[in-house]
Amino acid sequence: MKDKLLLCTVVLALFAESAQPGQITNWRNYKNQRWGFCVAYPRGWGHNEGVNNAGIAVFPVQDSPPGLQSQISVGALPPGRVNGHLLTLEESFEGEDEVLREGGATGLVVLDKHNLTFSGQPALFRKIRYKEKSSGAVWVEETIAFQSGPNYYFQLKCHPPELAELEPVFNKMVFKTFRSECRHEH
């Protein structure tokens, strides 16, 4: 019990340190070689670039089995097409919902969806909640997407109790550190 309490205290301290407004010191820089974008994330967090080099997933130290860990993903992919039709961001989100439902997700609810401007580009923000069939875990996902050549996406996927700690880190990564074109190596 004391070990879990100590772990929770350490994780919350890392979240609090990482989420200080305006403070970007002590973060690691990442440059995506495939698409040329840069983003920073809290030092001490794990990271995984995946198999297709489309982006990076970062995550705080967690006491959860793989597959049940919260993470923040930043990446880019070529725009989707169906029968020659270029998919809108809205259609891409609808496709993602269908994939979740086909995977057994239940109770999928759109909590918020609105247009915004990101880096001078029209963007779409969406926040959903659903229950995963395989694990029974409830997830909240916040996604911001915009089209600028590739489709850029930013996604926070976490369990509802973690949202208050992870959302400020997500917002800082997206709005304070992301650059679609890096001028220098990190």
**How confident is the model over 120-157, as pLDDT tens digits?**
889 999 999 999 999 999 999 999 998 877 889 999 99
Q: Report CA 47 to chain centroid distance, whole Å.
A: 12
What pTM was computed for the model?
A: 0.81
Domain assignment present for residue 184? The answer is: no
Domain range for 69: 2-177
Q: How far apart are CA 70 and CA 7, in angstroms?
A: 16
- Phi, psi dihedrals of residue 92, rounded to the nearest 5°: -65, -45
* Rg of the chain on CA atoms, in Å: 17
Q: Per the domain annotation, does 118 fall within a domain?
A: yes
Q: What is the pLDDT of residues 75-106, one digit of tens each?
A: 988 877 778 888 888 888 998 999 999 999 99
Query: Quick check: helix, strand or coil at residue 185?
Result: coil
Residue 33 forms part of a structural domain: yes
CATH number at residue 104: 3.40.1000.10
